[in-house]
Chain A
Amino acid sequence: MSADTMRMGSGAGFSSDRLGPAVDLAEQAELDWLVFETIGERTLAFGHRDRLQNPSRGYNPQLAARMRGVLKPCRDQGARIMTNMGVANVEAAAEVVIAVARELGLKGLKVAAVLGDEVTDQLNDQTVLFDYGGRTLGEVDRPLVGANAYMGIDAILPAVETGADVVITGRVADPSLFLAPIADKFGWQRDDWAKLGQGTLVGHLMECGMQITGGYFADPGRKHVPRPADCGYPIATIDADGGAEITKLDTAGGMVNMATVKEQLMYEVHDPTRYLTPDVTADFATAQLQESGQDKVRVSAAGGTERPKQLKVTVGFDGGLLGEGGVSYAGVNAAARARLAADILRQRFDAIPGMTDQYRVDLIGLNAVHGTARPDASGESQDVRVRAAMRSMDRNLIEGMLWEVESLLCCGPAGGGGYRGQITPGVVTHSTMINRDAISPTVKVYEA
């Protein structure tokens, strides 16, 4: 690798993302860094819930499997690993990485854990939630499970500077996972807003994994993706001013072109001139994209202005339980029988004692997904599933709802079958802001 460029790969774009193509990058892509981004607001809240149930959990459930797959090839290739798989228990996650390294005989492997994002103790019932109509934390009226500030490169860089083979974090801004190694490599100043903005764009494009290499893109008949089953994770070759070329392994399926990069450019972005991170107010609106070869797109010219004064905080609450159950109707007049079943369910639900929680009944195959967008949908499928769903803090109420769905098998319309029901725990998240000096990030180094 040339001294004046660096090469980064993505090995995960969300908590459950695929492992095989990450191993391919570790073995073949000649990377400086392989980055696994796995935290969403919900996965963080679930991490807190897991840790409350078992103090040794709360990190990404795929952490050990991923490390078994990539630790050795990364070490052989001289690639370092950056990941937020620590989720709500970074120290326990670091211990897991060390344990896997020992299992693989990788003596001396170093892990740097970035700590300090949890701010649960600093909030109280008067804390104002800006995404909740300015109401307070107390008004949510649910058990708090944990709160974390989005940290940025200020917190990650000291871990990078230890030279550790693996840097593991909890809640940091997703693009910062990429920006910290870039800023370290090229020695960028912490107030060089234009470069930090461009580096943040590279991180933003890479952090969703295959969403830029043809994953989440195919639309048969209109948008063709070659060998989608073998889609590869993206690789970025970055130069000293943050300009980058996005590509993939030649041997991998998928593709990189203007269309795949554009869709990712605005993914989960609102105002493109003000993309807020702990590091910079990035401006993606000036970005230039150019196809520079087969499966190669060059990205440059994003900018930035001063970083926000405060840090965003995600606050997680116990969301109670989600109950879902369904029965299928098929063949002649299926839609009418399914509609009748839905009517019967609504009458029976309303008669359940204490039934005050809101429920929903969908007809899958007719208008389930866009039922509220297109209430007039009148397609007459012969393959319709009645689905009922409800959230509640009261398990008995949900079990009563599911009992009524299952009962359709003998006392609903003719020909219904295939009952399945499940109850899954839920979380609720809200957001607030906190002053930068309210957190004190630290780094803890472990050695195998």
Chain B
Amino acid sequence: MTRKVPLRDLAHARAGDKGNTSNISVWAYEPGDYPLIKDQLTPERIKAAFPDLITGDVVRYELDHLHGLNFVLGEALEGGVNTSLGLDSHGKSWSFLVLGLELDVPDNLA
């Protein structure tokens, strides 16, 4: 059996911007949770979760020894800080959009 757990319970994250590209790094608090996060938090999952906001590709880089993933989201900032009309034109809040995604965690894992 599995249960749904928000990513925020298992990992922390920070977003940064360069032009119209956002990058979000996601880090497991516990090394033991990293394989599950790596397995489920795929670039395809991120892209599919925010279809209207990410119009480019999502690429994932893996830092296994530090238990972290770095996602690069192309064309994800409504034009970027210079042209977006949005309030968060840097996309700084992207980290918490991703931390709101839910993972399937087996009941036998804490």
> Do B18 and A359 touch (CB < 8 A)?
no
> Do B87 and A362 touch (CB < 8 A)?
yes
Q: Evaluate whether A319 and B23 lie within 8 angstroms (CB atoms) in the complex, with A223-B12, A266-B68, A270-B72 already known.
A: no
> Do A262 and B27 touch (CB < 8 A)?
yes
Interface pick from A158-166, A368-376, A404-412:
A368-376
> Do A372 and B97 touch (CB < 8 A)?
no
When chains A and B are docked, how far (Å) is the Cα of A271 from the Cα of B25? 12
Contact with A along B29-59 (1 / 0, CB 8 A): 1000000000000000000001011000001
When chains A and B are docked, how far (Å) is the Cα of A185 from the Cα of B45? 47
Please report the total number of A residues contacting B with Cβ < 8 Å.
46
Q: Write out the residue numbers on chain B whose beta carbons fall within 8 Å of the beta carbon of A364.
A: 87
How far, in Å, is B84 (CB) from chain A's closest CB? 9
When chains A and B are docked, how far (Å) is the Cα of A427 from the Cα of B83? 8
> Do B82 and A359 touch (CB < 8 A)?
no
Q: Write out the residue numbers on chain A whose beta carbons fall within 8 Å of the beta carbon of B13.
A: 263
Please report the total number of B residues contacting A with Cβ < 8 Å.
35
Q: Write out the residue numbers on chain B whose beta carbons fall within 8 Å of the beta carbon of A266.
A: 14, 16, 23, 25, 63, 68, 70
**Which of A219, A262, A273, A375 makes the CB contact (< 8 A) with B25?**
A262
> Do A272 and B61 touch (CB < 8 A)?
yes
The majority secondary structure among interface residues of chain B is mixed
The majority secondary structure among interface residues of chain A is mixed
Chain B CB within 8 A of A389 CB: yes
Q: Evaluate whether A428 and B25 lie within 8 angstroms (CB atoms) in the complex, with A272-B70, A369-B93, A373-B50 already known.
A: no
Q: Write out the residue numbers on chain B whose beta carbons fall within 8 Å of the beta carbon of A370.
A: 53, 93, 97
When chains A and B are docked, how far (Å) is the Cα of A359 from the Cα of B25? 32
Question: Which of chain A's residues 200-234 have a Cβ closer than 8 Å to chain B?
Answer: 216, 219, 222-223
When chains A and B are docked, how far (Å) is the Cα of A391 from the Cα of B88? 15
> Do A359 and B50 touch (CB < 8 A)?
no
Contact with A along B71-89 (1 / 0, CB 8 A): 0100000100111011110
> Do A262 and B82 touch (CB < 8 A)?
no
Chain B CB within 8 A of A429 CB: yes
When chains A and B are docked, how far (Å) is the Cα of A264 from the Cα of B13? 10
> Do B82 and A358 touch (CB < 8 A)?
no
> Do B66 and A289 touch (CB < 8 A)?
yes
Q: Write out the residue numbers on chain B whose beta carbons fall within 8 Å of the beta carbon of A287.
A: 66
* A-B CB contact pairs (8 Å), 26 listed: A216-B14, A259-B29, A262-B66, A264-B14, A265-B66, A266-B23, A268-B16, A268-B18, A268-B23, A269-B70, A270-B59, A270-B61, A270-B70, A271-B61, A271-B72, A272-B61, A273-B61, A360-B85, A368-B86, A369-B88, A369-B93, A370-B53, A370-B93, A391-B83, A426-B82, A427-B82
Further contacts, 10 of them, CB under 8 A, given A265-B66, A289-B66, A372-B78? A131-B19, A223-B12, A262-B68, A263-B14, A266-B16, A285-B63, A369-B88, A369-B93, A372-B52, A429-B82
A interface list, Cβ under 8 A from B: 42, 131, 216, 219, 222-223, 259, 262-273, 285, 287-289, 319, 322, 358-360, 362, 364, 368-373, 375, 387, 389-391, 426-429, 431
